[in-house]
Chains A and B, each alone.
Chain A
């Protein structure tokens, strides 16, 4: 089996992915009731719900296989600086152009990560990754179809998408911040590592943007926004956590 250092690295990997999913799931759920049209309101809300489900799946592995606290405790009782989510996911929902572009950035990466984890030598996460693959496939289909539609829409829709892409590209690259023990995971076939995920992500994204008639920013010229994986966050995460945990904190031991 895996030694302690390796398991610590697995813990970091699963925790930052769980945190990413929890926070983006919460953010995207803020569109519920405010979506641009009824059909999209339902679709985007369902996707947000799926993200919370994926977070739960990852927290459950941390709890059952790696000795961490209960999923609810991990999600609702930690301090802001204990969260290792990237900064991209914590930003406010903004206008729909931003939320869609973030959804594209995030889910393109999520699909690549889960496809990789589906063949991981760490069984519990491989099982989870195979279970949720269809859900993520739909999330990516949703994002890509929207981006293509609006990329070929009006001058305004195209311009708004392009500026959202340009302005947030550094935050997107921040998703691929390296973490401690990453090399151990690569060596043992547990995970292929952030640099490889980033390369695959750049390729996928470029293909979608090309089809949508949008321009791919030059990744070499954009400074990634790192810090999230080490617990450094923007001013937006704490208020999100306050809101998300408000009900839970009234009675943490309540039976639901």
Chain B
């Protein structure tokens, strides 16, 4: 059985569904790696992660990323990183962060000095 495209121009894409079982093993060239794309809007600003592209090499990833993530707005630079090279934490380890929200003393808003600042501002009004 062949899948026929409704687009009259796509006669070459008669995909053969018989030998493409759902559990067919994907070979390297059927299945590209992903690359993380980092976008810089202005010189000196940080590069921000904007998403991924599929590509067979880093250079091809850059070719694709330029249009994928640089087609609108301002861009001065891009970084490409193979997703394989990103060391990510395991989601099972999220408990290392579990008590962090309780540690208010690490949050600048929790500083007692805020009261003093408020007092100082108030007294300055009379100067």
Contacts and interface: CB of A to CB of B under 8 A. Distances in A.
Contact of B59 (A42, A138, A145): A145
Interface residues of B, number: 20
Contacts of A145: 59-60, 62-63
Given A30-B9, A34-B10, A149 B64 contact: no
B82 interface: no
A46 interface: yes
B29 interface: yes
Contacts of B59: 145, 148-149
A37 interface: yes
Given A34-B9, A142-B63, A39 B57 contact: no
Main secondary structure, interface of B, reads mixed
A141 B63 contact: yes
Given A34-B9, A39-B54, A154-B29, A46 B71 contact: yes
A72 interface: no
A34 B7 contact: yes
Contacts of A141: 63
A203 B35 CA distance: 33
Nearest to A47: B67
A39 B64 CA distance: 6
A95 interface: yes
Interface of A: 30, 33-34, 37-40, 42-43, 46, 95, 138, 141-142, 145-146, 148-149, 153-154
